[in-house]
Amino acid sequence: QRFYTKHNNSITCVNIHQYQSLVASSEIPSSKSNQRAIIHVWDHVKLRTITEIRKDQFGSNISLLSFSPKTDDDLILIISRDKPKIVLFIDWKRNELIYSITVSVIQ
């Protein structure tokens, strides 16, 4: 067996690209990373990191990652489990935030 070994902390979620040999996986932050989660986009055939995504908008715990279902799209949907919840769309190839919204749950 072969493993992707670039994570340093616990993994919170994983998503596999529908058409490419890509995986997105998030890990909880270490004390060194300002308490923000880190997302790795990596090639599951070569076990090579394509990019690491670090954004100030990330919370400490990512609960959902989803690549765009389009074959020619470089977007990834990210939902943070923190309070308030944060929903982000990121162009992972350019490491660029496209859109974000903060959602508060009223109980």
Q: Check pLDDT > 80 for residue 106.
A: no
Summarize pLDDT for 62-71 with one digit per residue, the tens: 999 999 998 8
Domain ranges of the chain: 11-103
Q: Check pLDDT > 60 for residue 33.
A: no
- The residues, ordered by sequence, that sit 6+ positions from 16 with a Cβ below 8 Å of its Cβ are 22, 23, 44, 67
Please give the pLDDT value at position 75. 96
Q: Check pLDDT > 80 for residue 107.
A: no
- The residues, ordered by sequence, that sit 6+ positions from 17 with a Cβ below 8 Å of its Cβ are 23, 24, 67
What pTM value is reported for the model?
Answer: 0.88
- The residues, ordered by sequence, that sit 6+ positions from 65 with a Cβ below 8 Å of its Cβ are 13, 14, 15, 24, 25, 26, 39, 76, 77, 78
